Structure 1
Amino acid sequence: MQKTFDKFIFLALLISCQSIFAQAPSKQDSIWQRNYQKRIRQSKLYGVYIPQNLGDAHNQLNKLISKESKEKFRRMTEDQVRHKLFFSLGRWIIYNWGFYDGSRLSDRLRKLGIYHPEDMAEFIIITYHRKMLQQPLNAKELIEQMTEKRKKEWEKRHKVTILPKPKAPN
């Protein structure tokens, strides 16, 4: 009798889970996706020009950054560029070039394998610095490093430690 009941419960759970996973995406998801597809085709978002690719992004930074700031930027090490400029230039890039909601540049970077907006900004800043110093961009290696770093962070966050169940007081 118990085995029949257990089988019935299992079958009921299986059927209910199947119907949950078979549901269509929410209306909100489809609206977001439609807006995303519209945004990645636009050359300007909120009046700000969106670069087409990495080279165009570097050219735009050349136009936007003063000579004095470029000289300071050039004298910095790559680690300084990575950490010090993230909260100024990096934030400006993320918000003005539409990395959170999608833009033609963020879509291009996603296709290269960079998915997080902060990584996108860091990638642009580091490659711009390398270009200014006339060093090889080594974009593929940089993307691999960023991907590995994100993977390790994800694993660390999702590593679960199961705590023992506390004993009830007598």
Structure 2
Amino acid sequence: MSTTIFTSAQRAAHCVLSLEQSVYHACKKERGTLGKIADIYGVNYNTLALQVNPNRSSHTLAPETIELVLEHTQSPLIMDAICCAHGNAGWFLLPDADNQCDEMVDIALLGQKFANLNSTSLDAYADKIIEADEYASMQKDGHALIGHIQTILENAKRNMERHNDR
């Protein structure tokens, strides 16, 4: 797989991106996102567009801008980038408190996420050379697996608390 080169859209779907790229993709995923952010938070649209464009060096991506984009889009791409920049961090979303979960479906999905990581890893190691895109793809699948494990554990904890309050 080392000879495969991802396009920008494929890289966003399969890999962990840099923070600048992840903010840009979060803003461009849905048409009109930048305009909505500018309207809601009262920032200048043109300045915002220049800040989130990773190909422009005239404006820098301020932490406040990252916060606005993350708050509005809830993009997992940004969270993946932040955790990878840290190096020893991971993230996951806990299920909603009123979430009606199906434990068997969650466990089945866990197996699927493990299979995804296994497949990605085997493809990456096939030629004994790990390229940057392959490693980023392995990271993304690994984070998804860890996040799903946390979801199962949180749902189990809520089930235990709900049934042991009697």
User: TM-score normalized by structure 2?
Assistant: 0.33
**Structure (1 or 2) with the larger CA radius of gyration:** 1
- Which one has more relative contact order, counting CA pairs under 8 Å at least 6 apart? 2
TM-score, scaled to structure 1: 0.32
